[in-house]
Amino acid sequence: MRYLYGPVQSRRLGLSLGISLTPYKVCSFDCLYCQLGKTTLKVKERKAYVEIDDVLKELQEFLDTYDARASSLDCISLSGFGEPTLAIDISRIIAEIKKRTSIPLVLITNAALFSEPESWKDFLGVDVIIPSLDAVTQDIFEKIDRPVSGIRIENIIEGLCAFQKMFQGQMYLEIMLIQGINDSIDYAYKFKEAVERIAPHKIQLNTPVRSTTEKSLEPPDKKRLLEIKEILGPRCEIL
């Protein structure tokens, strides 16, 4: 399969069939912790990176050929090998997938395009959205996520707030915590302020546990994770 991968068993989503809407490592970030390695093309331009009709054909073939496996899926996830929201026709593929199956559709995103209201309206059709929020200040944002120039973390937060007010599905906000960078108690309270503004259904704390772009990264210790979870409140969970 060219655009589909899996199904894979996910810690948070169950059995998930993945769909990639960009070539390998086309992304608006070059995150320190990315398990896929360094970004090969760092862009914020939205365009048709793949042929959507080919993606839909491959999905339909999977649904028709592997009926038993498809019926056991917990979700279909738009994620893959780059940033899926860069696909200019993502709203079309969301609509077409929803026509073909009732399997819940999940969008996993770095949230960069939430700084642009004309873009994030394309994402309203999914059932679950999992945006990343690894920082709430520009300096830490640039240190961890290494975004393409011109992206401001405050604009992303404001966009997430506006999106959540319109969104009919579930939002799980993911925070990747890295020892010595964004895991201080003081910074946890800054996260708390942003989380209260956004009001996601869940906050999911993650740590760099697989091979990452920068090999020296360490996760916070368990005690610190539990402290941050307590600060962020009852909707917060540790992955």
pLDDT digits (tens, 9 = 90+) for 198-233: 999 999 999 987 655 567 889 999 999 999 999 999
For residues 206 and 236, the answer to whether their CB atoms sit within 8 Å is no
Identity of residue 233: G
Q: Over 70: is that where the pLDDT of 33 sits? A: yes
H helices present in the chain, as ranges: 52-65, 67-71, 90-100, 117-120, 138-145, 153-166, 185-198, 222-232
* Inter-residue contact 130 to 106 (CB < 8 Å): yes
Spatial neighbors of 118 by CB under 8 A, at least 6 apart, are none
Q: Mean pLDDT, to the nearest integer, of 24-42?
A: 85
Q: Is the pLDDT of residue 117 over 90?
A: no
pLDDT digits (tens, 9 = 90+) for 59-108: 999 998 877 677 789 999 998 789 999 999 999 999 999 999 999 999 99
For the residues 109-132, what does the mean pLDDT come to? 94
What whole-number distance in Å separates Cα of residue 91 and Cα of residue 89?
A: 5
Q: What one-character DSSP code corresponds to residue 23?
A: S
CA-nearest of 106, 108, 102, 131 to 194 is 131
Q: Are 138 and 159 in contact (CB under 8 A)?
A: no
Average pLDDT rounded to a whole number, residues 44-70: 87
Q: CB-based contacts of 223: which residues, under 8 Å, 6+ apart? A: none
Mean pLDDT, to the nearest integer, of 112-123? 91
Q: What is residue 107's predicted lDDT score, i.e. its pLDDT?
A: 98
Higher pLDDT, 105 or 121: 105
Mean pLDDT across 14-41? 87
Q: What is the pTM of this model?
A: 0.93
State residue 80's pLDDT score.
76
* Other beta carbons less than 10 A from residue 210's beta carbon: 9
d(CA 93, CA 100): 11
Q: Which residue(s) pair with 38 in the sheet? A: none
Instruction: Extract the tokens encoding 179.
Output: 């020892």
Q: Average of pLDDT values for 179-201?
A: 98
**Which CATH number characterizes residue 46's domain?**
3.20.20.70
Query: What was the pLDDT predicted at 104?
Result: 96
Average pLDDT of the segment spanning 27-34: 92
- The predicted pLDDT at position 6 comes to 82
- What integer pLDDT is reported at residue 211 of this predicted model? 57
Q: What is the pLDDT of residue 42?
A: 84
pLDDT at residue 210 in the model: 62
Predicted confidence (pLDDT) at residue 39 exceeds the cutoff of 90 = no
pLDDT in tens, 130-165: 999 999 999 999 999 999 999 999 999 999 999 999
DSSP labels for 49-113?
A: -S-HHHHHHHHHHHHHH-HHHHHT-SEEEEETTS-GGGBTTHHHHHHHHHHH--S-EEEEE--GG
Integer Cα distance of 107 and 127 in angstroms = 8
Domain that holds residue 37: 4-238
Q: Which helix (H) or strand (E) holds 33?
A: none
How many domains is the chain partitioned into structurally?
1
pLDDT value at 2 more than 70: yes
Of the listed ranges 2-6, 14-18, 87-91, 175-179, the least confidently predicted one is 2-6
